[in-house]
């Protein structure tokens, strides 16, 4: 009988590159930067890694197809390397592959590494895929990421009778909170605090989303080395930090093709959250989750995810936001490292970057000014695609 992943895998070490406009660095440079930190953190030698999972999304403008670029860059001794890709959940998918291999008893020590080098493409946002480009040509400007997520905002405001001015203020608080956190993080791309007033009066991108409601594009890499709890304890690792749940949920087409979706929430997040909490043995997420890194591609996404993950009651996420519930010193800090808002979104790296923050917080490694107090469970959430058709991953790790 299936028993899930809970407490079967320990994180032995993690690493994360500096995110940003890394013109001076290739994707291979970023891979090495994150891997060297993870290897030193794990306290093992490279030859002890038995298999690897390599997350990268846009191979045409990045490192290329297959697992070969990871193996040649890190000079692995002919071990298996599997390339993973699953939209914005790509990094978490690499982590899931490595964890499942350890939990299955196939390998003792595995690597998951995600990288994306997007700034050299000469394109301001994420490069358009063939299907997305065709849809944009047929439908028009709303078939952009800001346009589609703006509809999530207006749908949410309409369903819960939110005054647009209050809604805009809540979204501004979400972005300002993340910028304040990112300013404390030396690895973040954007490190300048921004006031709610600046955010509200910034140029409009797609109503009601302004410039600061949208995350940017960056270069970056992140890595995790995983093993069994027994091996981790034998190496006298602090903690250790254990994997409590890994859930992936993909749209069935129901939201996009039928009329029963309200356009004000993300059904995949609801389902993935339910699966993850069941696997982790979490009964009351609002009381048991200590901190979160969620997929804040846009501020409205973060707002709706608060409710989809059962943290805020339906229609009450704005109240929690304005009360500081998700601030760094609030009940459940969200984006304590600055989130996608301040790291940008190198697709293959983002999920592992989120896990790196939760892992580091659980081990109380950060300075007091940006440390979450007495964390027990850390949650990460990735969302790839558009509100009506997407893939969602939710991971929970803990002490």
| CA–CA distance, 51 with 108 (Å, rounded to integer) | 9
> Tokens 């939760």 — which residue?
358
Report the candidate in 342, 314, 339, 343 with the shortest Cα–Cα distance to residue 326. 339
| CA–CA distance, 250 with 146 (Å, rounded to integer) | 21
- Residue 378 phi/psi, 5° resolution? -115, 135
**Least confident stretch, 85-89, 109-113, 137-141, 354-358:** 137-141
Instruction: Give the mean pLDDT of 195-200.
Output: 98
**Least confident stretch, 119-133, 134-148, 166-180, 363-377:** 119-133
The pLDDT value recorded for residue 397 is: 98
Number of H helices, E strands in the chain: 15, 11
Residue 139 binned pLDDT confidence (cut-offs 50, 70, 90): low
What percentage of the chain carries pLDDT values higher than 90?
A: 88
Give residue-wise pLDDT tens across range 79-136: 999 999 999 999 999 999 999 999 999 999 999 999 999 888 766 666 665 545 555 5
The pLDDT value recorded for residue 364 is: 96
Domain locations along the chain: 10-123+219-234, 135-214+243-398
Tokens representing 362? Answer: 């659980």
Q: Do 135-214+243-398 and 10-123+219-234 fall under one CATH topology?
A: yes
Instruction: Give the mean pLDDT of 352-361.
Output: 98
- Looking at the chain, which runs of residues are DSSP E strands? 10-16, 51-55, 81-84, 109-117, 204-206, 209-210, 219-227, 241-250, 291-293, 377-386, 389-398
Mean pLDDT over all residues of the chain? 94
The pLDDT value recorded for residue 142 is: 64
| CA–CA distance, 96 with 91 (Å, rounded to integer) | 9
CB contact set of 7 (below 8 Å; sequence gap of 6+): 229, 242, 243, 244
Relative to beta strand 377-386, strand 241-250 is: unpaired
**Least confident stretch, 33-42, 83-92, 127-136, 234-243:** 127-136
The top-level CATH class assigned to 135-214+243-398 is alpha beta
Residues labelled as active-site residues = 88, 345
Specify the fold of 10-123+219-234. Answer: Peroxisomal Thiolase; Chain A, domain 1 (3.40.47)
CB contact set of 56 (below 8 Å; sequence gap of 6+): 27, 62, 63, 69, 83, 85, 90, 114, 115, 116, 347, 348
């Amino acid at each position: 009988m299936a028993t899930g992943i809970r407490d079967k895998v320990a994180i032995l070490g993690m690493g994360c590159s500096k995110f940003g406009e890394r013109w001076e660095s290739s994707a291979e440079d970023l891979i090495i930067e994150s891997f060297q930190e993870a290897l030193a953190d794990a306290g093992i030698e490279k030859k002890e890694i038995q298999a690897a999972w390599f997350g990268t999304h846009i191979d045409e403008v990045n490192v290329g197809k297959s697992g070969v670029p990871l193996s040649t860059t890190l000079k692995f001794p002919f071990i298996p390397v599997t390339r993973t890709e699953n939209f914005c959940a790509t990094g978490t998918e690499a982590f899931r592959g490595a964890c499942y291999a350890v939990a299955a008893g196939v390998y003792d020590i595995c690597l998951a590494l995600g990288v994306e080098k997007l700034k050299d493409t000469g394109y301001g946002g994420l490069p358009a895929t063939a299907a997305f480009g065709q849809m944009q040509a047929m439908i028009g400007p709303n078939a952009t990421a800001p346009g589609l997520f703006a509809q999530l905002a207006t749908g949410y405001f309409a369903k819960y009778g939110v005054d647009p001015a209050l809604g805009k203020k809540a979204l501004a608080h979400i972005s300002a909170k993340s910028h304040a956190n990112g300013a404390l993080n030396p690895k973040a791309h954007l490190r300048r605090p921004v006031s709610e007033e600046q955010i509200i009066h910034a140029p409009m991108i797609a109503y009601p989303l302004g410039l600061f409601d949208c995350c940017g594009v960056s270069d970056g890499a992140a890595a995790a080395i995983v093993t069994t709890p027994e091996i981790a304890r034998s190496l006298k690792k602090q903690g250790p930090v254990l994997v409590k749940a890994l859930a992936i949920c993909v749209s069935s087409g129901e939201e996009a093709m039928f009329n029963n979706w309200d356009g004000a929430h993300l059904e995949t997040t609801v389902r993935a959250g339910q699966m993850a909490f069941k696997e982790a043995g979490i009964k009351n997420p609002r009381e048991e989750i200590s901190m979160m890194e969620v997929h804040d591609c846009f501020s409205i996404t973060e707002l709706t995810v608060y409710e989809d993950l059962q943290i805020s009651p339906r229609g009450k996420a704005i109240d929690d936001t304005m009360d500081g519930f998700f601030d760094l010193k609030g009940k459940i800090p969200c984006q304590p490292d600055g989130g996608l808002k301040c790291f940008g979104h190198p697709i293959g790296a983002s999920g592992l970057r989120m896990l790196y923050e939760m892992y580091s917080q659980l081990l109380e490694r950060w300075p007091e000014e940006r440390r979450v107090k007495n964390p027990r469970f850390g949650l990460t959430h990735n969302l790839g695609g558009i509100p009506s058709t997407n893939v969602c991953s939710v991971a929970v790790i803990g002490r």
